[in-house]
Amino acid sequence: MSEEISTMRSQHPTVCDPVVAVSLAGSDTVPRPAPTSGNGTVDGFSRQPWAELLDGSEEMVFAVDRDGLVRVANAAAARHLGLTAGQAVAATPLATVLQGPPGSFDADLDDRRLRGRSVPLGEWTAWYVRDVTDQTFRIDALLAERWRSAFLAEAGRRLGSSLNRARAARTTALLAVPALADCAVVVLADQRELVWHRADVDAEDRAESTGSLARWRLEPDSALDQALAGLTVQDDPRLGEQIRPLLADGFGAVGSATVLPLPGHGAPVGALILARHAGRAPFEAVEVHLVRQYAARAGAAISAAALYAAQADAAELVQRSLEPPELPQVPGVALGAAYRPAWEPLRIGGDFYDVQAGPDGDWMFVLGDVCGKGIEAALQSGNLRQSLRALWLAESRPLRLLDQLNRATLTTGDPTLATLVVGSLTTGPAGDVTLTLATGGHPPPLLLRAAGEVAPVELAGTAIGLVPAAPLGETRVVLAPGDTLVLYTDGVTEARGRAADRPFFGAERFATELGAYRAAPAAVIAERIAQLVADWTGDRLHDDVAVLVIQARPGPATPDRATREDV
Amino acid sequence: MTAAVTTEHREHYLALVGHGDEAAAVDYALGLAECGVSPRDLVLDLIGPTQRRIGDLWARDEWSVAQEHAATHVSEQVVAALAARHRPRPDRGVVVVACVDGEWHALPARLFAEVIRWDGWDVRFLGASVPGPHLVSYLHRHGPDVVAVSCSVPTRLTSAHRVIQAVQDVGVPVLAGGGGFGPGARWGTKLGADRVAADGRAALEVLRSWPLRAVAEVSPLRDSFVSDDEHVLVVKRGAQLVAVAMDRLADRFPAVHGYTAAQREATEYDLGQIVEFLCAGLFVDDVELFRAFVSWLCVVLASRRVPPETVDLVLDVYHDELFDFPRARAHLVAGRRQVPAGRQVAA
């Protein structure tokens, strides 16, 4: 301590004292008037105490004159900066800073971070320097940690937004560059094939590429093989050569690399390869931790996508089997159909229709509505359709068909309750079409005569799936050329409007609207009905809508017309 | 050898579809294709313009709605026939084409789908009114490069907005197109679509020059583009507005008292349409939407001998009723200026 005090004493008090005193007053911000009297007053009471006061500060305080010589230096400045009064500051980078213009600076001295500022002090310049090494380190660490958290949060969000496996893999590779590495390869493990997605740092942004390799070509105990078995490989000198085939041609020397598993449900779903150029710093411990967390998120996203794909595949198979069938080409007859399920995710419902060639050269058709909604009703309608398709091979009389279908339904423990119209169709020589219709509890079809009126077909019966000897109705209708029969489900007439009292679409309105479409093609009529109902309800359908339109072609059917439509 | 579609071609084609002559229309289009007109030009210069023409003919009451639908059906068959003949192998990315929920005009989207298919894209056409959950599930399953969202009527823009967000949330970029997105598809931009295309040719260019990535460019936090909820609040008051307008119409035009139920319903539907377009305009915060609608409505009504005063009266009623909705009033004022001059109701 005494040594430093003597350092202070060796200065030139006449010049510095009053100014330093003022400066001190300024620096601790206590508002007190600057001494205006002569030097002696300040000199008299304060030299010794303020010199010691400065020595007690952890801040390095010193003053340099115009020639660069240190004139005053407190204990901390002498200890940490090696300053001695009367000598020039020699050590860089401090010397460089002091030669520059006054102001603030940050400089590294050995392994310390110094932060200083200067204040003009008459002929001298006073410097106040603090050691901010710990503070800076804490802030840097905090920023780095914050960056890592933000990176992981963003990665989690982006990876979680897609349930598509290939997209999740591509995203995993893309997000990793350049944040984690200069090249990232995601390898997806399948039974036979390893599909990889690679992202490289590109001149403009990032470049993507993809490819695959047969699984049997994977070298046993190679880094990739180990990662796919759940092991992380890092800092292996042979790593660069092992992953070389998966890197871009122009990647150059591999500086550092790591190959780690993408954890899945049970076994890894794949591996993540990260490679850095030779110039870039190797993976630090904290980065290894980050990379593992990243791989965990990526693995979770990819395996969730794989799980979703498996379930969605199953759902799609079910959906496809339940979708309304394509209508066949029936000579002399124009067919049209529309289908609007109320249940949206799979676009299937309990309403159904079907048209198929019958056993005796005529055509069979059905339109019906299974009680209930959603996937369950859709599955039941699928069963009914299958049963009918089988029955159609042997039986063409609609009433008997319906009776057999009813009995078949009742053999199951949980019979399907449904209303439907089943019919057969034969074309006559004059372009007329004879329809035989049987119904079980279904709204009667509407008949649009080319001549004029729109009227329901007289047809009644009870729903199937209730009692074995159900009373079912049958009737016969002959369509002259241009006549149209419209079969529909109650989703049409019982659609509720958007007006305040939620009125039904109703049979009357339906008949009136149909009247305007008498001359239109069957497909247009069907589509138009569905559209009218959708417009009527405004936003959402509350019940499925199915429409099947059978029209005797106006005028004789020409053969070339039939063949053209097959194209 | 290439040839271009001429005005004569369009006139002839219009006559064919106007008669609902499917076979002749298909043969005509296929014949032009054989003469060297590219299927793309047939769609963009023959079928597309004809469809717009048909809409115009309906608006001017020259064609019935049934005739319009029959003609559209014929055009659908023509596109199907062209598509069956021209199926290039896809050598670009996968594009899903879907109409927004509640959009049943599938033909414009279908035309677009075929045009980009012929440009080498692997196109999955999901058809009319694709429900959001269905679309999202499809995207998860198939991971396309782009979703092209089609909207033909501005009243479906709120649906379009939901669809655009849902698709982007899955990480797939969106191309918006169709008449519903307004002049130059600018409302598509407003609703946050990654790219927009004013017409089919523009869409081809946009898709060709789009560097598609697996990581969407859109931030998850989106700002609302209107400052208030007027578009939502006016929707809620829709039924009440229609009821008040109906009463005022009956006061002014006693004939309304003698309307049949069907006539009354039709009028209510028209009044409701005005509210819907007003709300769509408020939603995108652009008076041009409502202004264009009122112009069109005046054409439609004038050709059906409905006096334009009725439109003016209804807009006036809405203007009075929505006294605390400054934006809605501005739109209504702009709309009233479109009503043919000198025919307005004295206030």
> Minimal Cα distance from A538: which residue of B?
B102
List CB contacts (< 8 A) between B134 and chain A. Answer: 344-347
Q: Which fold has domain B89-226?
A: Rossmann fold (3.40.50)
Sheet containing A446-448: give its strands across. A333-340, A545-552, A484-488, A446-448, A454-456
CATH of domain B230-336: 1.10.490.20
Positive or negative: CA dihedral A64, A65, A69, A70: negative
Nearest-Cα distance to chain B for A164, in Å, is 5
Return the number of other C-beta atoms located less than 10 Å from residue A54's C-beta. 23
**pLDDT tens track for A502-515:** 788 888 889 888 88
CB within 8 Å of A521: residues ≥ 6 apart: A334, A336, A551, B20, B22, B70, B73
List CB contacts (< 8 A) between A164 and chain B. Answer: 139-143, 170
Q: CA A419, CA A406: separation in Å to the nearest integer?
A: 10
**Amino acid found at A498:** R
User: What does the pLDDT average to over A387-413?
Assistant: 90
Look at residue A218 and tell me whether its pLDDT is greater than 80: yes
pLDDT band at A68 (very low <50, low <70, confident <90, very high): confident
* Strand pairing report for A484-488 and A446-448: antiparallel
User: What does the pLDDT average to over A144-171?
Assistant: 90
Q: CA A93, CA A110: separation in Å to the nearest integer?
A: 10
Residue ranges of alpha helices (H) inside B191-286 are 200-208, 230-236, 238-252, 261-284
Nearest-Cα distance to chain A for B52, in Å, is 19
Considering CB atoms only, which of B131, B142, B214 is closest to A344? Answer: B131
pLDDT of residue A344: 65
Q: Identify which of B81, B159, B139 has the alpha carbon closest to the alpha carbon of residue B114.
A: B81
pLDDT of residue B218: 52
> Minimal Cα distance from B145: which residue of A?
A167
Interface of A with B in 60-79 (CB under 8 A): none
A104 touches chain B (CB under 8 A): no
> Residue B318 burial (CB < 10 Å; 0-12/13-18/19+)?
buried
Interface of A with B in 482-501 (CB under 8 A): 498-500
Query: Residue B70 and residue A564: Cβ atoms within 8 Å?
Result: no
> Minimal Cα distance from A168: which residue of B?
B214
Look at residue A188 and tell me whether its pLDDT is greater than 60: yes
Nearest-Cα distance to chain A for B343, in Å, is 31
Structure-token match 């009247």, residue found: A515
Q: CA A128, CA A106: separation in Å to the nearest integer?
A: 12
Look at residue A382 and tell me whether its pLDDT is greater than 50: yes
User: What does the pLDDT average to over A46-66?
Assistant: 81
Mean pLDDT of chain A: 83
DSSP, collapsed to helix, strand or coil, labels residue B25 as: helix
List CB contacts (< 8 A) between A516 and chain B. Answer: 64-66
Q: CA B52, CA A301: separation in Å to the nearest integer?
A: 46
Paired with A454 in beta bridges are: A448
Integer angstrom CA distances of residue A63 from A13, A23, A196, A405, B305 = 13, 12, 64, 107, 97
Look at residue A38 and tell me whether its pLDDT is greater than 70: no
Which residues of B sit within 8 Å Cβ distance of A?
20, 22-23, 26-27, 64-66, 69-70, 72-73, 81, 84-85, 102, 104, 129, 131-134, 137, 139-143, 169-172, 213-216, 220, 239, 262, 268, 272
Q: Which residues in A208-222 are b (16+ Cβ under 10 Å) and which e?
A: beeeeeeeeeeeeeb
Q: ∠ CA A466-A468-A474 to the nearest 5 degrees?
A: 90
pLDDT of residue A375: 82
> Residue A488 burial (CB < 10 Å; 0-12/13-18/19+)?
buried
pLDDT of residue B169: 85
Look at residue A345 and tell me whether its pLDDT is greater than 80: no
Q: Which residue has the higher pLDDT, B143 or A560?
A: B143
Interface of A with B in 328-387 (CB under 8 A): 344-347
DSSP, collapsed to helix, strand or coil, labels residue B245 as: helix
Q: Which residue has the higher pLDDT, A98 or B287?
A: B287
Look at residue A14 and tell me whether its pLDDT is greater than 70: no
Query: Residue B220 and residue A157: Cβ atoms within 8 Å?
Result: yes
List CB contacts (< 8 A) between B239 and chain A. Answer: 499-500
Query: Residue B214 and residue A316: Cβ atoms within 8 Å?
Result: no
pLDDT of residue B154: 95
Residue of B26, B73, B110 best to disrupt the A interface, most CBs of A under 10 A = B73
Cis amide bond preceding A559, omega within 30: no
pLDDT of residue B219: 54
List CB contacts (< 8 A) between B66 and chain A. Answer: 516-517, 519-520, 524, 528
A480 touches chain B (CB under 8 A): no
pLDDT of residue B343: 47
Query: Residue A158 and residue B215: Cβ atoms within 8 Å?
Result: yes
Q: Which two tokens stand for residue A312?
A: 């969605």
Cis amide bond preceding B308, omega within 30: no
List CB contacts (< 8 A) between A158 and chain B. Answer: 171, 215-216
> Domain spans of chain B?
1-87, 89-226, 230-336
Considering CB atoms only, which of A162, A534, A564 is closest to B170? Answer: A162
**Amino acid found at B231:** H
Q: Which two tokens stand for residue B24?
A: 């002749």
A193 touches chain B (CB under 8 A): no
Q: Where are the beta strands (DSSP E) in A137-288?
A: 183-189, 193-201, 206-214, 233-234, 254-262, 270-277
* Inter-residue contact A61 to A75 (CB < 8 Å): no
Mean pLDDT, consecutive 10-residue segments, chain B of 347 residues? 85 93 93 93 95 93 90 94 92 93 88 94 92 88 92 93 90 92 93 92 92 59 71 90 93 89 86 94 94 94 88 94 94 93 49
Q: Which residues in A69-91 are b (16+ Cβ under 10 Å) and which e?
A: ebbbbbbbbbebbebebeeebee
pLDDT of residue B212: 74
CATH of domain B1-87: 1.10.1240.10
Considering CB atoms only, which of B27, B85, B171 is closest to A171? Answer: B171
Nearest-Cα distance to chain B for A476, in Å, is 29
Query: Residue A316 and residue B141: Cβ atoms within 8 Å?
Result: yes
End-to-end CA distance of chain A: 105
Return the half-sphere exposure (C-beta side, CA atoms, 13 A cut-off) of residue A566: 8
Positive or negative: CA dihedral B109, B115, B121, B123: positive
Look at residue A10 and tell me whether its pLDDT is greater than 60: no
Q: CA B111, CA B106: separation in Å to the nearest integer?
A: 9
Return the half-sphere exposure (C-beta side, CA atoms, 13 A cut-off) of residue A160: 10
State chain B's maximal CA–CA distance in angstroms: 66
CB within 8 Å of B341: residues ≥ 6 apart: none
Look at residue A112 and tell me whether its pLDDT is greater than 70: yes
For residue B51, the Cα-to-chain-centroid distance in whole angstroms is 12
Q: Which two tokens stand for residue B337?
A: 């200026």
User: What does the pLDDT average to over A310-337?
Assistant: 90
pLDDT of residue A48: 62
**pLDDT tens track for A252-277:** 888 899 999 999 888 899 999 999 99
Q: CA A473, CA A458: separation in Å to the nearest integer?
A: 9
pLDDT of residue A123: 87
pLDDT of residue A46: 41
Considering CB atoms only, which of B66, B139, B143 is closest to A516? Answer: B66
Integer angstrom CA distances of residue A534 from A218, A451, A511, A542 = 57, 29, 16, 10
Tell me the pTM: 0.76
